[in-house]
Amino acid sequence: MRTRRSSRLALAALLLLGASAGLAAAEDTVTIGVYTPSAPFNGPVARLEYASKLAAQIGPALGRKGVGKAFARAADLSAAIKRGELEYAVLDGPYLAGLGVPYKVLGAAQRGGASEVAWEVVTTLPVKNLAELAGKTVVLPEVGGKSDDFVMRVLMEGELPPSHFGKIIQAPDALSALAALGHGRAEVALVPASLPLPAGARRLLTLGLVPWPALVALPTSRPEDLDKVASAAAKAGGEVLSGFDRGNADAYRSLARRFGRSARRGPLAVPPQRLAVGDLLVQRNFTIVRSEISALLPDPGAGD
């Protein structure tokens, strides 16, 4: 009996020691997620390398080990955030705006010296304008669950009817969207400007500006660390994204408002609902004709 009890106590002590060691390791680690479909990383390996380099830049600033994780799907990122696995994340501008910007923005990613980029309409068809693309299939980088709103309300600014395009599909990233266009899986691609185009494709139209990804603090982050993280991220350069510009979330909130933009319609000919008294009396004659009262009485001789 004593031997069994001693074994159980030893096992419990080992489990407690292991849990304590795991907790200490978690406290010494800061994990940063990266979800950037619109940024032109050349595949998942390049995104993971960027996430690791960014984490290696931020971790030492906090006296902790940085761990980077790259996500290819919005659902996987959302699940990791809900489980509390991430403290910070680099989130795509359209995705963050589609969520309503629920997290504190620490910085806007830079590319080519700018934090925003114009998007383009790219097509393989011999068309002259958007009207001639009616019924065609459109492909764009994944933006989460609001791809239709992003295309029709943000990029097209509500100028086209919701059913203008035949189908809107999403690709894992911007380069994959262009590859889908080149392979004939779509006739139109919507991507950030200045990306290399596949054979046979051409730029049809330049659209509005969309911000590059944002570095955000998630609910598990420590308030006392935010300034340190923002400062460290500002110096984190790379070939695709060259650091982060410390600032507010105005560009992302502005983009979020564009998701709710209504379709533009021509003015309707609706008559005014309130009329002035003078308008009712113009060119109208309200004179009461006087009659003799005797004409209103029955004729006494009518009964004979």
Question: Percentage of the chain with pLDDT > 70?
Answer: 77
Tens digit of each residue's pLDDT (9 = 90 or more) over 176-204:
999 999 999 999 999 999 999 999 999 99
Q: What angle, rounded to 10 degrees, do the helices at 44-58 and 226-234 form?
A: 120
Rounded distance, CA 90 to CA 10, Å? 44
Asked if 125 contacts 133 with a C-beta cutoff of 8 angstroms, the reply is yes
> Residue 272 — pLDDT band, cuts 50, 70, 90?
very low
Phi/psi of residue 192, nearest 5 degrees: -60, 150
pLDDT at residue 112 is higher than 50: yes
Rounded distance, CA 99 to CA 13, Å? 45
pLDDT at residue 296 is higher than 90: no
Beta carbons within 10 angstroms of residue 280's beta carbon: 8
> Residue 270 — pLDDT band, cuts 50, 70, 90?
very low
**pLDDT for position 22:** 42
3-state secondary structure the chain: CHHHHHHHHHHHHHHHHHHHHHHHHHHCEEEEEEECCCCCCCCHHHHHHHHHHHHHHHHHHHCCEEEEEECCCHHHHHHHHHCCCCCEEEECHHHHHHHCCCCEEEEEECECCECEEEEEEEECCCCCCHHHHCCCEEEEECCCCCHHHHHHHHHCCCCCCCCCCCEEEEECCHHHHHHHHHCCCCCEEEEECCCCCCCCCEEEEEEEEEECCEEEECCCCCHHHHHHHHHHHHCCCCCCCCCEECCCCHHHHHHHHHHCCCCCCCCCCCCCCCCCHHHHHCCCCCCCCCCCHHHHCCCHHHHC
pLDDT at residue 106 is higher than 90: yes
Beta strands 88-91 and 29-35 are parallel
**pLDDT for position 225:** 97
| pTM for the model | 0.78
**pLDDT for position 206:** 97
Structural tokens at position 173: 């990233």
**pLDDT for position 55:** 97
Which residue has 């009996």 as its token pair? 1
> Residue 144 — pLDDT band, cuts 50, 70, 90?
confident
Tens digit of each residue's pLDDT (9 = 90 or more) over 233-257:
998 878 999 999 987 789 999 999 9
Task: Say which residues have a Cβ less than 8 Å from residue 174's Cβ, sequence separation at least 6.
Answer: 37, 38, 39, 40, 141, 191, 192, 195
Asked if 115 contacts 109 with a C-beta cutoff of 8 angstroms, the reply is yes
Rounded distance, CA 131 to CA 230, Å? 44
Please give the angle made by the CA atoms of 86, 91 and 96, to the nearest 5 degrees: 115
Looking at every residue in the chain, the average pLDDT score rounds to 85
Task: Say which residues have a Cβ less than 8 Å from residue 66's Cβ, sequence separation at least 6.
Answer: 29, 30, 31, 32, 54, 55, 56, 57, 58, 59, 60
pLDDT at residue 275 is higher than 70: no
